[in-house]
Amino acid sequence: MVIHGLLAASLAMTALPATDVQAEINCSRVKCLALTFDDGPSVYTPKLLDLLKKERVKATFFLVGAQVEKYPSIVRREAAEGHAIGNHTYSHPSLPTLLDNEILDEIHTTQELIRQQTGKLPTMFRPPYGATDDRVLGLAGSQDMSQVLWTGTTLDWSLRNVEKIKAAVLRLAKRDGVLLMHDVVPQTVQAMPAIIKELKKHGYHLVTVPTLLRGKGMEAGVSYP
């Protein structure tokens, strides 16, 4: 952090480092949208990360613990490149059907797997299928996590078509929106260059969920957006 501070000071009047661009975005003043990718990491994720880096776009990844075990280096890369990371359980069950200790086990295992790679415990939780209730929300809250749902779901896992996924994203895009996609769907990753180009043309700043909600704060045990 000391190096970071020195860098920031020496670069104050010049270009900011890429990782600081996000910190400068105030979503109460500009049009923001959060792209979120669930169920990864997958073999398609590195290509998505390459694109996000080139376009200087930050996204939010809700990771499945079993995938974190398979692709730990991709998780480290997501964190290192400034993307936000949330917990999407270990085995992707529908949580309201499980017992408290089973739900906590799904959450804990994944928290620990992510912490091992990034050094940080996630503070965002997204229930698989968006299936949740007050009990699930309370259990997530007991683990110091906010619940993050979405304003629009692209149904990319069902569409499996580049043009249709692009059309769905553009139809669902709105200021302060949170869009649900999946980086395990190859067509989603293939559609992203055109999607990002179009969203930028419409004036969107593509930000992480914490950046989007920064002004409002994110509390544990509360559901967003």
| Cβ at position 14, least distance to Zn ion in Å | 41
What DSSP state is assigned to residue 151?
A: S
Q: Which residue is nearest to Zn ion (CB)?
A: 38
Q: What are the distances in angstroms from CA 36 to CA 109, 116, 138?
A: 22, 22, 23
Binding region for Zn ion (CB under 5 A) out of 36-44, 70-78, 104-112, 161-169: 36-44
List 39, 78, 106, 156, residue binding Zn ion (CB under 5 A) = 39
Residue 128 binds Zn ion, judged by CB under 5 A = yes
156 contacts Zn ion (rule: CB under 5 A): no
Is 41 an interacting residue with respect to Zn ion (CB under 5 A)? Answer: no
Catalytic residue among 83, 88, 182, 205: 182
- Min dist CB 169 to Zn ion, Å, is 17
Instruction: Decide if residue 106 touches Zn ion (CB under 5 A).
Output: no
DSSP-assigned letter for residue 80: H
Is there binding between residue 177 and Zn ion (CB under 5 A)?
A: no
Specify whether 20 is catalytic. no
- At residue 31, the 3 state secondary structure works out as coil
Q: Has 38 been annotated as catalytic?
A: yes
Least distance in Å: CB of 39 to Zn ion?
A: 4
Q: Does 78 bind Zn ion (CB under 5 A)?
A: no
Among 22, 32, 36, 38, binds Zn ion (CB under 5 A): 38
Number of residues in contact with Zn ion, rule: CB under 5 A? Answer: 3
Q: How far is the CB of 62 from Zn ion (least distance, A)?
A: 7
Query: Cα–Cα distance between 143 and 219 in angstroms, integer?
Result: 12
Note whether 127 binds Zn ion by CB under 5 A: no
- Which active-site residues does the annotation give? 38, 182
Site residues (vs Zn ion, CB under 5 A): 38-39, 128
